[in-house]
Amino acid sequence: MSENQKKIWVTGASTGIGKAVAEKFAKEGWKVAISARREELLKNIAKDNNIFDYPLDVTDKKKVDEVFKKILEDFKNIDLCIFNAGTYEPKLEKEINQEQIRRTMEVNFFGVVNCIKAVENHFKNIKNGHISIVSSIAGYRGLPNSSGYGPSKAALSNLAESLYFDFKKYNVKISLISPGFIKTPMTDKNKFRMPFIKSPEFAADKIYNGLIKSDTFEITFPKQLTILFKFFKILPNRIYLFLISKLVKR
């Protein structure tokens, strides 16, 4: 291994976007640490020479700290973190299910907060590095049947913007990844037609190019869908609520 080899930590890496991102960075020559709860899936992915598995439940703050400490011991340094762990249960999103909403926020939002807190001192001390948070265009505005997932992603987007200013003083970059529909085990649960749905490999290419080959704060894809949702974002409430109400009735 070259001393100049770049190193990355990816959470939520057992399937979907996280898995594809880990494999993409490994293919590009990066040394990759992957974390998720499902150990067997991680071990299968870690058969790649550049990928190493570190099982983790991101809701366990103490374990997050221990895992990152172990990664630093093994890798000596981390250049980039992509915090991607998330959960989604569409059947339970159609009503106010308090336990499900708490669980969704615990994984999607506080799990990311736990990870950022674990790496904070490392990046601030070396005055370098990059933390990228995976949110979703579902966080742009309130959507039907999204009582937990959408709000958790909206919180992540706001968090990324807030931390951008705090970490910039230490020369640490914060960025946001906001995908549309990507074919993953989570979106396979949806019973509705998902426009412009793309593969995890498509997402991984967009994320890699956005993080490594550009200096943008937010990476969004696919373009056709994200343009529509960004338009929704700037609409006055009255118009937005009217349009979505009409779409729901169809």
Q: What is the C-alpha separation between 25 and 118, in angstroms, rounded?
A: 22
Annotated catalytic residue 208:
no
> Active-site residue among 88, 140, 149, 208?
149
Q: What is the C-alpha separation between 229 and 173, in angstroms, rounded?
A: 25
What token pair was written down for 200? 């995890």
177 and 166 Cβ atoms separated by less than 8 Å: no
CA dihedral 162, 64, 56, 145 (to 10 degrees): -30
Sign (positive or negative) of CA dihedral 181, 184, 190, 194: positive
List 175's β-bridge partners, or say none. Answer: 132
Cβ neighbours of residue 72 closer than 8 Å, sequence gap 6 or more: 78, 122
Q: What is the C-alpha separation between 58 and 11, in angstroms, rounded?
A: 8
Cβ neighbours of residue 123 closer than 8 Å, sequence gap 6 or more: 129, 131, 167, 170, 172
Degrees, nearest 5: CA angle 206-247-93: 70
2 and 13 Cβ atoms separated by less than 8 Å: no
Q: Mind giving me the DSSP string for 38-53?
A: -HHHHHHHTTSTTEEE
Which residues have a catalytic role annotated?
A: 149
